[in-house]
């Protein structure tokens, strides 16, 4: 009865691609314990470490005490408790947009936004390295789906020119690519959107709280604003909670309230998750040292890796891919680090393209310089063992 599933799992094991769940107990924003051993964590998107900020914890506990534990109903029924209104107002202001809508996760935000905005008569132009939630949203929409080479505006323009007659066109890119840590040429992408009358969906999941002088993300980084841009993000990374959001012109938000199936047919977030989002934004604004400290760590690690001749990219983001290529060698490096108490996940196909297996190191404002030194030194040792 289960042969086909067993066969697939065996094939994955043979290729070194089998995945299993690791149960971890967080002991700080940058350390966790597994089976009694503590690991230094370079695999979390808790970029500012706000999961353990005393005010954020207090906001979460107070929300539970005041409003209970669960959302109770869809946002369109009775799930939109008052905290949502405040969070949406704060997020719109933080990201520099007229309006905002919060979903239950970044994943459901992407599938809801894309499948609502696009139809069979639409064309989606999507960066080749876009996140799985974007791909899934595009498939669900039944729009024509064209993928342009990563960050290649010439290829994007070629596709836009060829398919300019679609009734609605949506260009999709990420502010900081989740597996590569690079930043797209957004000003050029926006120019193309204007020229070919398209809208741009920008996924700022890994940019919010990280890039831009005050951590407001990609639009602050490029000092850009446009009603053509729809900016989504998540509360689950720098904002230390759970939930996705989209910021845009009010007409788009009203449209998504009416057409976004993943919003309409799913229960609202627990009040504590919403309260954490509000407090995390407040902390980012009132205590700019969190974003500054993360940005300092990014520069520091880049310098340490470059001194050792370890290649990565030049972007000011918290994601450092160390591309090894071969899946097994990548696992060996990750395992070597784990033996020394450092967790840096091996990312393998199909999450990344074949032949580009890598370590994905993500930094937090809460890592100390000693943590980063230990990582750089141990990584150098690990890489020398496989070459």
- State which residue, 215 or 304, has the beta carbon closest to ligand PLP: 215
State yes or no: is 178 an active-site residue: yes
Across the chain, where does the E strand assignment appear? 25-28, 31-34, 37-41, 99-103, 122-127, 144-148, 168-174, 199-203, 229-234, 244-248, 319-325, 342-343, 346-347, 357-362
The rounded distance, in Å, linking the Cα atoms of 110 and 114 is 6
Q: Is 110 in the site for ligand PLP (CB under 6 A)?
A: yes
The rounded distance, in Å, linking the Cα atoms of 65 and 198 is 46
Could you tell me the two tokens for 216?
Answer: 């407001």
Residue 375 burial (C-beta neighbours within 10 Å; 0-12, 13-18, 19+)? buried
Residue appearing with tokens 């929300």: 63
State yes or no: is 241 an active-site residue: no
Find the part of the chain contacting ligand PLP (CB under 6 A) among 9-17, 25-33, 99-107, 378-386: 99-107
CB 252 within 8 A of CB 109: no
- State which residue, 47 or 125, has the beta carbon closest to ligand PLP: 47
Q: Which of 205, 219, 322, 344 binds ligand PLP (CB under 6 A)?
A: 205
Catalytic annotation, pick one of 90, 127, 174, 204: 174
Q: Is 241 in the site for ligand PLP (CB under 6 A)?
A: no
Residue among 50, 67, 28, 53 at smallest CA distance from 272 = 67
Could you tell me the two tokens for 283?
Answer: 């902390």
State yes or no: is 174 an active-site residue: yes
Smallest gap from residue 174 Cβ to ligand PLP (A): 5
Strand partners, 267: 74
Alpha carbon distance, N-terminus to C-terminus of the chain: 44
State yes or no: is 45 an active-site residue: yes
Alpha helices by DSSP H, listed for 40-152, are 54-67, 82-95, 106-117, 132-141
- State which residue, 106 or 271, has the beta carbon closest to ligand PLP: 106
Q: Is 244 in the site for ligand PLP (CB under 6 A)?
A: yes
150-189 footprint of ligand PLP as x/- string (CB under 6 A)? ------------------------x---x-----------
Q: Is 280 in the site for ligand PLP (CB under 6 A)?
A: no
Catalytic annotation, pick one of 81, 95, 237, 279: 237
Find the part of the chain contacting ligand PLP (CB under 6 A) among 101-109, 316-324, 368-376, 377-385: 101-109
Q: Is 347 in the site for ligand PLP (CB under 6 A)?
A: no
Catalytic annotation, pick one of 41, 44, 45, 105: 45
Share in percent of the chain as helix, strand, coil (round to 5): 45, 20, 35
Q: Hey, which residues between 117 and 146 contact ligand PLP (CB under 6 A)?
A: 131, 133
Q: Which of 49, 106, 184, 209 binds ligand PLP (CB under 6 A)?
A: 106
221-240 footprint of ligand PLP as x/- string (CB under 6 A)? -------------x-x----
Q: Is 107 in the site for ligand PLP (CB under 6 A)?
A: yes
Residues identified as active-site: 45, 131, 174, 178, 203, 206, 237
């Amino acid at each position: 009865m289960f042969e086909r599933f067993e066969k697939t799992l065996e094939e994955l094991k043979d290729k070194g691609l089998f995945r299993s769940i690791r149960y971890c107990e967080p002991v700080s924003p940058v350390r966790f314990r597994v089976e009694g051993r503590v690991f230094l964590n370079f695999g979390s998107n808790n970029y500012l470490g706000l999961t353990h900020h005393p005010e954020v914890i207090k906001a979460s506990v107070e929300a539970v005490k005041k409003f209970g534990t669960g959302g109770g109903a869809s946002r369109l029924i009775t799930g939109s408790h008052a905290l949502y209104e405040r969070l949406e107002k704060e997020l719109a202001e933080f990201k520099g947009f007229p309006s905002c809508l919060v979903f239950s996760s970044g994943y459901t935000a992407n599938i809801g936004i894309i499948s609502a905005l696009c139809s069979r008569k639409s064309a989606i132009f999507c960066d080749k390295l876009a996140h799985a939630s974007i791909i899934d949203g595009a498939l669900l929409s039944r729009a024509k789906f064209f993928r342009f080479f990563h960050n290649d505006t010439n290829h994007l323009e070629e596709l836009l020119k060829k398919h300019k007659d679609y009734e609605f066109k949506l260009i999709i890119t990420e502010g900081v690519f989740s597996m590569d840590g690079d930043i797209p040429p957004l000003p050029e992408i926006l120019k193309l959107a204007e020229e070919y009358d398209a809208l741009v969906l920008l996924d700022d999941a890994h940019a919010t709280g990280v890039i831009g002088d005050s951590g407001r993300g990609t639009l602050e980084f490029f000092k850009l604003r446009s009603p053509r841009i729809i900016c989504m993000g998540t509360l689950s990374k720098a904002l230390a909670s759970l939930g996705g959001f989209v910021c845009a012109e009010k007409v788009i938000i009203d449209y998504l309230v009416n057409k976004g199936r993943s919003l309409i047919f799913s229960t609202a977030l627990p009040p504590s998750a919403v309260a954490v989002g509000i407090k995390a934004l407040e902390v980012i604004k009132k205590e700019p040292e969190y974003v500054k400290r993360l940005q300092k760590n990014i520069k520091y690690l880049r310098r340490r890796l470059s001194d050792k001749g370890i290649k990565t990219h030049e972007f000011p983001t918290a994601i450092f891919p160390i591309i090894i290529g071969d899946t097994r060698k990548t696992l060996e490096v990750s395992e070597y680090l784990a033996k020394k108490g450092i967790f840096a996940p091996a990312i393998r196909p199909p999450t990344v393209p074949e032949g580009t297996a890598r370590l994905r190191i993500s930094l937090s404002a809460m890592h100390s310089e000693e943590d980063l030194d230990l990582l750089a030194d141990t990584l150098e040792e690990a890489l020398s063992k496989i070459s």
